[in-house]
Amino acid sequence: MPSAVAVQETAASTRAGAGAVSLTEVGRAFASPTGTREVLQGVDIRIAPGEILSVIGPSGCGKSTLLRLIAGLDAPSTGSIAVDGTSISDTDERTAVAFQEPRLLPWRTLAQNVELGLPRETQRSGAGRRAGRERVRELLHLVGLDHAADQRPREVSGGMAQRASLARALARNPDVLLLDEPFGALDALTRLRMQDLLLDIHAAQPTTIVLVTHDVEEALYLGDRVLLLRSLHAPAVDAPAAEVRARVLALGSGAGIGASGAALPAAVERHLAPPAPAASAGSIARVVTVPGTRPRDRADRTLADLRATLLEGLGVPTHHHQLASKENR
């Protein structure tokens, strides 16, 4: 993988100060058999040019929906979204998206796939095409794929395919890069490397990044801020916990605890109960500013504390605070 210095040399310049994203009271509801179903509500946040905003939240809370809205692939039901003060459209070339699956065309080489991300005018004219080829070469170098330019997606590893996907998203030199769990399908080590690659790219080409991730550590390692979304439909998300609860009750009924409908011991209940939803609040549960500057120390204590807080915000008990206070004794 290229060093930050190599990345610096090959990166194209981004428009300085561009890429401010503002979401004003954004909501999205979908038609459902039982009426409309609200997925996002009252999402109000300003993202600064060059900022990395991590977005986390339980499955189904609307993270991908939010990203699609910012990309202009979907329109909000209420509120508005603007990049640098103007509203976005579905053909907006100021934004680019990469997903968990690389979504490369299997019959094209990696270079040809990256080429597809170039702005349309670059793909058409003769001079533009030459510049385009040069840009593709630079991008492949940026993501450490010089040697694999002529390989096809099925001939390369998952991490390599994902790097090609990232290069394709960067090809149009976007002001705002939208990433939906981009490293979610990769093994743990490749994932850590991809995180550092993303930071190298960002240092060289500081676009605004909105990164949806399931990984709280990743959110804190990469983000300037972490946006924690809540589910407006907590019971559906908590279905597995409800199942566990039912099984514990069934087991306990023979031993004299928790006949159907009765309370479980508090210690068990604590692990199963979802966090109580605030009655009137919207989708944003919390916005956390991550202290310190990147690259961050993965073993930092403050980050570990924040990680525990965010996990608890996601309804995952960590015992971290108990452990920390024991250690301090």
Ligand X SMILES: Nc1ncnc2c1ncn2[C@@H]1O[C@H](COP(=O)(O)OP(=O)(O)OP(=O)(O)O)[C@@H](O)[C@H]1O
Binding site for ligand X (CB under 6 A): 30, 39, 57, 59-65
107 binds, among Mg ion, ligand X, none (CB under 5 to 8 A by kind): none
Name the segment binding Mg ion (CB under 5 A); options: 59-67, 77-85, 91-99, 200-208. Answer: 59-67
* Tokens coding 245: 């609860």
Contacts for 286 with CB less than 8 Å, ≥ 6 apart? 227, 228, 310, 313
14 contact choice in Mg ion, ligand X, none (CB below 5 to 8 Å, kind-dependent): none
CA distance 136 to 129: 10
Helix (H) or strand (E) holding 34: none
Partnered with residue 98 across adjacent β-strands are 179
CB-based contact 233:60 (threshold 8 Å): yes
**223 contact, one of Mg ion, ligand X, none, CB 5-8 Å limit per kind:** none
Query: How far apart are CB 151 and Mg ion at their closest, in Å?
Result: 29
8 is a site residue for Mg ion (CB under 5 A): no
Tell me whether residue 74 or residue 312 sits nearer to ligand X (CB atom): 74
Taking the least distance from each CB to Mg ion, the nearer of 64 and 78 is 64
Cβ closest to ligand X, residue 60 vs residue 252: 60
CB of 1 to ligand X, least distance (A): 27
What DSSP element (H or E) covers 275? none
Of 122, 144, 123, 309, the residue nearest 216 (C-alpha): 309
Give the Cα-Cα-Cα angle 190, 192, 196 (nearest 5 degrees). 110
CB of 251 vs ligand X, minimal distance in Å: 30
- Of the pair 142, 212, the CB lying nearest ligand X is at 212
With CB under 5 A as the contact rule, the residue among 24, 64, 77, 318 that binds Mg ion is 64
Nearer to Mg ion, 122 or 231 (CB): 231
Angle between helix 320-328 and helix 301-313 axes, rounded to 10 deg: 150
Q: Considering the complex, what minimum distance in angstroms separates the CB of residue 225 from ligand X? A: 18
Nearer to Mg ion, 64 or 151 (CB): 64
184 binds Mg ion (CB under 5 A): no
Nearer to ligand X, 152 or 214 (CB): 214
One-character DSSP codes across 99-111:
-SS----TTS-HH
Find the shortest distance in angstroms from Cβ 103 to Mg ion.
14
53's contact among ligand X, Mg ion, none, with CB below 5 to 8 A by partner kind, is none
Nearest CA among 49, 52, 41, 40 for reference residue 21: 49
Could you say which of ligand X, Mg ion, none residue 61 binds, taking C-beta under 5 to 8 angstroms by partner kind?
ligand X
| First-residue to last-residue Cα distance in the chain | 44
Question: What is the number of residues in the chain?
Answer: 329
Tokens 């210690």 found at: 267
Q: Shortest gap between Cβ of 96 and Mg ion (angstroms)?
A: 17
